[in-house]
Chain A
Amino acid sequence: MFHNLAQLIRYRGLIESLVARELKARYRGSVLGFFWSFINPLLLLLVYSFVFEFVLPNRSPEKPYALFLFCGLLPWTWFSSSVLEASGVLISSGNLIKKVLFPAEVLPIVTVLSNMVHFLFGLPILVGFLIYYRRPLELPEILWFPVVLLTQLILTTGMALIVSALTVHFRDLKDILGNLMTFWFFATPIIYPMTGVEKGSLQHTLLNLNPFTHLAISYQELLFYPGNPPGPFGHWRGLVILLFASIGLFLVGYFLFDRLRDSFAEEV
């Protein structure tokens, strides 16, 4: 397993070019092409702003609510699209696995990375709006941002490896997963703030067990409430614990993937 894991570094050129291909292929043929990566989150943010300002004025204390929502939604989209796409990636690339000597783990990793690039393209839009609403980022705090990013990357990759390997054997997983991710979304403080959940209640404990809760809180704290509470990044303990848990999940995921690897060429 660790031997294979070390091999991954050798495939970085392949991963790089496959991510580039994925991104190119996605917008090939459309007029605006690559700009869609910027326009999509912008339009999404505008739609949410419109809905929550005029259609369903929100009573939540987070103002502007659409911006709060967006801070959690953008990383969530990265996470959920990666996991959902990963569930089908081995099957749809069956040709590669069956006919070419090809390191299969590259495929879910490429899925996660290309979705990460979309997420990164969405960030300037978010930052632009933060500046528009006069919510400047705090310098010492924002240094935590790469750690949040890294944690999410490892967590997502671990999930993607597990899901992609299992779906080869259980095709139904793909359909279950869609609903599971919707449930997971509502079980994460993205559309509601964690502060609204009563501390010590059962919901609070359960939410705390959800790994994405800590990511969402971290993003919100860094982007939406900079300097509130004042001082350094308040959720760092939760984040660091999650980082180690994510590394664990990644190793478990990679182990599972490695064990099932030989069956892929026969089952896809």
Chain B
Amino acid sequence: MLAIEASGVTKVYRRFSNRRQFATLKSALLKGTLLRDLHPNETFAAVRNVSFAVPQGSTYGIIGRNGSGKSTMLKLVAGITKPTEGSVRVEGRISALIELGAGFHPEISGRENVFINGIMLGLSKREITKRFDEIVEFAEVKDFIDAPVKTYSSGMYMRLGFAVAINVDPDVLLIDEVLAVGDEAFTHKCLDKFAEFRRRGKTILLVTHSLNLVEKFCDDVLWLDSGRIRGEGDPRRVVSAYITDVAKTEEKNLAALDARTRERVDHAAPTSAGAAIEAAGDAIEPPANMFMASEGRWGSREVEIVDVRILGEDGAAKQVCQSGEAASIQMTVRAHMKVEDVVFGVGVFNADGVCCYGTNTDIEELEIAEFSGEQTVTFRIKSLDLVEGTYKIDVAAHRVDGYPYDYHRLLYSFRVKSHTKDVGIYRPPHTWEFTAGISVKDIRERK
């Protein structure tokens, strides 16, 4: 039996142009445009032709980026807004955890608010009296229950709202990203409560950004993207498709960010470089403290770094890498004249600006005897053993004595992803070993 059935649901929000925003009843009446102004001149479909069915007793997740229509979908299921097209059918009593404590009145006590909120959510006074102690205990506000709600901390407020909503004893529970309200212990309590709901055969619709939660809890997942269905079904499959898609977007964003930084630097560079060359026939000086310097580019350009790419294992250019994969930093370099004294260097920095690794051909005792024309230099990393995060790269070509030909400071970035949430900078390839007295279970496989 289906608990929730949405068929061909489209929700169009109306957007009014600025003209409408400043129009008033008076002007509408004067100009006779009252009826016309009530019609939107721009529309925006938050959800487009979405159909899904949730069988009774199952837990169904909705994931998607910000603005993908998840919350709108939840509101449609809750009946707070009506679909423009299509229909939503829900069996049984709904409780929506969309905004906790939405109906609380700040001036009156927690006790009175629990009653009124409960009545709003469809409980009778008697039912609330019966569950009152349970609600208060769950919310952990026993000592403050007779104080006005305005004196509550935001955490207490949310917890009380959550406790009331969850005690409505709904057949269908709608949850919109509300687990972030409490501390670790409270979150666990909420999760236990959800588990209890599942055991009792209730239906849960969960909108969240926590993919872990989706993989752990949901029987099925719906992935929305700009209001349309991008994927549906087995959580692990859908979540991994979603992660891949997010990585792609991130890559695009990183590339765009890098392009902007480079553009800024390139715009600034010609004038200062020209001036420096005019003055002394020399390169621009590198900043006094190199490690403090922000993005930039300097050097005499006798050797120019024309292009820098980050390559993945397969040799394709990418900006999001998996920790532990092989990767390369490849630069295309051009010598405008024959040079004999050249060193190529690479540095990797994390978001805090900490140098994770830096080296150059001179340090590694590679002497470049001669170099002319356009060539490629590749810095190959066998295993990218960095923890998750965004990293930036320095690349440079300079003389052995440090005189810079072309120094690119923090102009390229890449992102390292990891399944393990370890901390620090560097992840040495490692394993754990235990003697027989310690029994160990690898719970990664459980998911």
Contacts and interface: CB of A to CB of B under 8 A. Distances in A.
Contacts of A13: 119, 124-125
Contacts of A17: 115-116, 119, 125
Interface string A73-100: 0000000000000000000000111111
A262 interface: yes
Contacts of B124: 13
A32 interface: no
Contacts, number: 73
B25 A173 contact: yes
Contacts of A97: 80
B112 A101 contact: no
B14 interface: yes
B82 A95 contact: no
B257 interface: no
Nearest to A166: B25
B116 A98 contact: no
Contacts of A95: 99, 102-103
Interface stretch (A18-26, A56-64, A187-195): A18-26
Given A172-B25, A266-B13, A96 B119 contact: no
A21 B119 contact: no
Given A170-B25, A176-B25, A266-B14, A18 B102 contact: no
A265 B99 CA distance: 14
Contacts of A99: 80, 96, 98-99, 102
B358 interface: no
Given A95-B99, A96-B103, A101 B78 contact: yes
Given A101-B94, A101-B96, A266-B14, A170 B81 contact: no
Contacts of B81: 262, 265-266
Contacts of B115: 17
B55 interface: no
A170 B37 CA distance: 11
Chain A residues touching B, majority SS? helix
Contacts of B148: 28
Interface residues of A, number: 27
B120 A265 contact: no
A14 B105 contact: no
A183 interface: no
A200 interface: no
> Which of B13, B78, B81, B98 lies at the interface centre, i.e. has the most chain A CB atoms within 10 A of its CB?
B81
Given A17-B119, A24-B112, A95-B103, A262 B82 contact: yes
Given A101-B96, A170-B25, A266-B81, 9 more contacts: A24-B112, A28-B148, A95-B102, A95-B103, A97-B80, A99-B98, A100-B80, A100-B102, A166-B25
26 contacts: A13-B119, A14-B120, A17-B125, A21-B112, A21-B116, A24-B108, A25-B108, A95-B102, A96-B102, A96-B120, A99-B80, A99-B96, A99-B99, A100-B96, A100-B102, A100-B120, A100-B121, A101-B96, A102-B120, A166-B25, A170-B24, A170-B25, A170-B28, A172-B25, A262-B82, A266-B13
Interface of A: 13-14, 17-18, 21, 24-25, 28-29, 95-102, 166, 169-173, 176, 262, 265-266
